[in-house]
A and B are shown apart, each in its own frame.
Chain A
């Protein structure tokens, strides 16, 4: 591909980059900043794009770095109180009997990977992430989407590793319940 058409292809990624950045940062201004910086870096570095990976994967990789920078710059806009609240051990008492067994049977999700081909599934997943308390969503997405390790997350967010494990567990439990309720329960009924 010529440099010119590569540059054009980078520009065409803007809408999807913006969608990703909004999901992560939950702030339109920051999202737009992160995307602008990503596009500038990508256009300047287009010569370095080896063509080994997909262009989109390469650009999303740059965006991930810009999102981390933006988190860093925005610093502590999530209050320490919110983080402390999110890091409290949740009892999930409604999920367990007094002897710590589950009250409700978790559903058999069948072949959950088949949901990957359904656009609506990702809309639901996004809604479930959006419904998490912001501090939980931030830590969860840093771990699972940005794929930072917990030591890096602790440093960025200013929490202990114990806090971090608790927050990740809470986020996963809630997301699991949310996906089951909003997606897999309906799928199971349809089977």
Chain B
């Protein structure tokens, strides 16, 4: 039951990974994302890629 509440798919996780750079995620969203990332190496990589992308774009004017 709790599992069904907290488990999200990679597709959903990647939507949240993007949105957390644009808005404050809710408590449940953060919990779901955190859990997903601890279980999923691929999404963890994408999390790093998104963070890197933001930083890289800010450097376009250097």
Contacts and interface: CB of A to CB of B under 8 A. Distances in A.
9 contacts: A100-B10, A100-B12, A145-B58, A149-B22, A150-B22, A161-B23, A168-B21, A169-B14, A176-B46
A20 B61 CA distance: 6
A168 to B, nearest CB: 6
B19 A165 contact: yes
Which secondary structure characterizes the binding site on chain A? helix
Interface string A149-185: 1100000000001001100110011011001100000
B30 interface: no
Contacts, number: 90
Interface string B1-36: 000000001111011001101110000000000000
A179 B10 CA distance: 20
A68 interface: no
Contacts of A45: none
Interface residues of B, number: 28
Given A96-B11, A164-B22, A169-B18, A122 B59 contact: yes
Contacts of B42: 102, 105-106
Contact of A172 (B43, B53, B59): B53
A106 B52 CA distance: 14
B57 to A, nearest CB: 4
A75 B38 CA distance: 44
Nearest to B46: A106
